[in-house]
Chain A
Amino acid sequence: TQLLEQSPQFLSIQEGENLTVYCNSSSVFSSLQWYRQEPGEGPVLLVTVVTGGEVKKLKRLTFQFGDARKDSSLHITAAQPGDTGLYLCAGAVRTSYDKVIFGPGTSLSVIP
């Protein structure tokens, strides 16, 4: 059974601070994705990382996929209130199809 863990579970920071969210597993994934979800809505894809060691940047967000493709991190620079939301990592396990499993999420609150 593949499991994804995320830390921290909750994070409350002041506007302008930096933060890092972690996603870990003992399983290897063919790809890993990060989503952001707002209350009452479905998750929205932020990024997909495929290659071990890969780093992707999306404005103030930096995503890294671990060399062994078992873990990932999301770093946000100079957080803004608009970054508030639930951040979910999801791993794709290639079986007969790409089964996508989700971590429990990190709830981020950025205080103005």
Chain B
Amino acid sequence: NAGVMQNPRHLVRRRGQEARLRCSPMKGHSHVYWYRQLPEEGLKFMVYLQKENIIDESGMPKERFSAEFPKEGPSILRIQQVVRGDSAAYFCASRSNEKLFFGSGTQLSVL
């Protein structure tokens, strides 16, 4: 059974470029959480989605950030016009019963 898959593992972007982070949940899971983590800190909630619907985006910055989870394909976290402050590890997770299963994350570095 494949776990939660995230790609790319590492993404380098220059200021002003766009970053696209992909997440495929575990088989049979139709909801994903996205979190952001800075070094030596905990995970900050960003957004919770089900297929074709955003349930809670209260943790998403109002500008430049968007997320989607189409009927087919992975969930996408999109960051437009990246700035250095966007550099972080981005994790997604899918849920079964009381358990969250995390991917290995995407480390975004903005030069």
B69 within 8 A of A: no
Determine whether the beta carbon of B98 is less than 8 Å from that of A97.
no
Chain B residues, CB < 8 A from A104: 41-42
A22 contacts the other chain (CB 8 A): no
Chain B binder among A38-46, A63-71, A74-82? A38-46
Interface size class of B (residues with CB under 8 A): 20 to 34
* Nearest 7 interchain pairs by C-beta: A42-B102, A102-B42, A104-B42, A102-B43, A48-B98, A105-B42, A42-B91
Q: Please, which residue of chain B has its CB at the minimum distance from the CB of A105?
A: B42
Name the residue on B nearest A31 (C-beta).
B98
A83 to chain B, nearest CB (A): 18
29 residue pairs A–B, Cβ–Cβ below 8 Å: A33-B98, A33-B99, A33-B100, A40-B104, A40-B107, A41-B104, A42-B93, A42-B102, A42-B104, A42-B105, A43-B43, A44-B102, A45-B99, A48-B98, A50-B98, A88-B42, A90-B100, A96-B55, A96-B56, A97-B31, A99-B45, A100-B33, A100-B100, A101-B45, A102-B35, A102-B43, A102-B45, A104-B42, A105-B42
| Residue positions of A touching B, CB distance < 8 A | 4, 6, 31, 33, 40-45, 48, 50, 86, 88, 90, 92, 95-105, 107
**CA–CA, A45 to B103, complex, Å?**
12
Bound complex: CA A96 to CA B105 (Å): 26
Tell me the smallest distance from the CB of B90 to a CB of chain A, in Å.
10
Contact assessment for B56 and A99 in the assembled complex, using a CB-CB cutoff below 8 Å: yes
State the CA gap A4–B43 with chains docked (Å). Answer: 11
Chain B residues near A98 (CB-CB < 8 A) = 95, 98
